[in-house]
Amino acid sequence: MTLIVSLNKEIENPAVVPTTLRPNGGEIWVAAEGDSAVYSVDAKDNLTTIASIDCAENVTVIPTAPTNLGSSGGSYFAADFPTRIVEFPGSDFFGLGGNVLVGSEFSSRLSIITLTNGKYQAKPFQDNVIQQAEGAAFVQILNPPFIYAAKFVCGRRYQPEDRHHEEGRRARQLRHRDQCS
């Protein structure tokens, strides 16, 4: 481990953003809930305010080609404290690759930061979908072969043999139904 910088702020869920988001592209962007801001940290430890977003909790870069996780229908998964995981389909993000999503812990808002005419703009992406945002991630595909980088699906570890367990579970349900009827 190497300490990069100490910001003297409470920060959460950083992301390295694409270089195409100049002037602060290729830098580490981080949410600061208490400041209601997203900051950028450059290679010389300079801190720049990117946007003001109420209760900013997490920073996530939208992939250029959003991909759904198997048949789940979800491409972006977010923890909604204390017990929920919500998903958004890849189709919600087509054409938005390289921009940044920011979840807000207490404002029930998912915001998007875009670069327009050399200036960052933060605007609502979706309201009232996440009550208390925590961490979030997009499905990542590693090429080749096409392997899902996601290791957990809806709170449980995915195992390649799950298909066989599912078939066994269905067989047990049928046996149980037959015994109880």
Are the CB atoms for 152 and 139 separated by under 8 Å? no
**Separation between Cα atoms, residue 96 and residue 64, nearest integer Å:** 7
Residue 163: its H or E element: helix 162-180
The answer to whether the bond into 23 is cis (omega within 30° of 0) is yes
Residue 164: its H or E element: helix 162-180
- Residue 169 has what pLDDT? 45
Does the pLDDT of residue 84 top 70, yes or no? Answer: yes
**Separation between Cα atoms, residue 68 and residue 138, nearest integer Å:** 9
The answer to whether the bond into 145 is cis (omega within 30° of 0) is yes
**Separation between Cα atoms, residue 121 and residue 113, nearest integer Å:** 5
- Residue 114 has what pLDDT? 95
Residue 31: its H or E element: strand 28-32
Q: What is the mean pLDDT of residues 82-99?
A: 88
**pLDDT tier, 6 (very low <50, low <70, confident <90, very high otherwise):** confident
Cα–Cα nearest to 51, from 119, 135, 128: 119
Does the pLDDT of residue 29 top 90, yes or no? Answer: yes
Tokens of 108: 């029930």
**Separation between Cα atoms, residue 48 and residue 39, nearest integer Å:** 5
Task: Indicate the residue type of 138.
Answer: F
Q: What is the mean pLDDT of residues 155-180?
A: 42
Task: Indicate the residue type of 28.
Answer: I
Every domain of the chain and the residues it spans: 12-141, 151-181
Does the pLDDT of residue 19 top 70, yes or no? Answer: yes
Please tell me which of 25-34, 101-110, 156-165 the model is most confident about, judged by mean pLDDT. 25-34
Does the pLDDT of residue 85 top 50, yes or no? Answer: yes
Residue 127: its H or E element: strand 119-127
pLDDT tens column, 122-167: 999 887 676 777 778 888 766 544 444 444 333 443 344 444 444 4
pLDDT tens column, 32-83: 989 999 999 988 888 999 999 998 988 999 998 888 887 788 888 888 887 8
- Residue 175 has what pLDDT? 43
